[in-house]
Amino acid sequence: MDRAAVPLVLASSSPRRLDLLARIGVVPARIDSPDIDETPHPRELPRAYALRLAREKAAAVARRDGEAVIAGDTTIALGRRILPPADDEATQRDLLASLSGRRHHALSAVCVVAPDGIVRTRLADTIVAFRPLTARDIDAYVACGEGLGKAGGYAIQGRAEAWVRFLAGSHSGVIGLPLFETRALLATAGVL
């Protein structure tokens, strides 16, 4: 894999985002993890929240001359409600119970800051529907540990994929970076 013409900084500590970039032949020149407050603003809607976080993550990373920066955010929304990441098992159980048998939105925002400082964002809105989950399903999934720290309490690229009865949109976006939108933004920024 060749390195891109314009050096790219990945503003993320997510190994999934690094793997997803590799799928489109992009190897970041460096990785820098942004430190931002991810608390939703009062009455902030999920789409605006995901886009704001992607922009703030990109802005929180120092960009050297000639570099481009990419950042992303994946937000799980149930109606107008922004679901938090599953920071503990109790939260994860509650999240999975609320998603059981229902459709939700996986909003995956991507922000690219070009070498000239121009900021561009795109958002992929993916509808995901889980089959009804039993208490046993939820217990087994929580015990495997795979959804801890993840938006909505699950990782679609793992065991939770077997619960998906319907998906419309970007599978890679649910994982953490919508590749169609990402590729378009990187091409515009001169990275591809």
For residue 73, indicate whether it is catalytic. Answer: yes
Confidence at 5, pLDDT banded by 50, 70, 90: confident
Q: For position 140, what pLDDT does the model report?
A: 97
Model pLDDT for residues 83-104, shown as the tens digit of each residue = 999 999 999 999 999 999 999 9
8-188 maps to CATH 3.30.1200.10: no
Catalytic residue among 32, 73, 125, 137: 73
- Domain segments of the chain: what residues? 8-188
| Tokens read off for 85 | 């990441």
Residue type at 58? A
pLDDT digits (tens, 9 = 90+) for 113-164: 999 999 999 999 999 999 999 999 999 999 999 999 999 999 999 999 999 9
- Per-residue pLDDT for 3 more than 60? no
In order, the DSSP letters of 5-38 are: SS-EEE----HHHHHHHHHTT---SEE-------
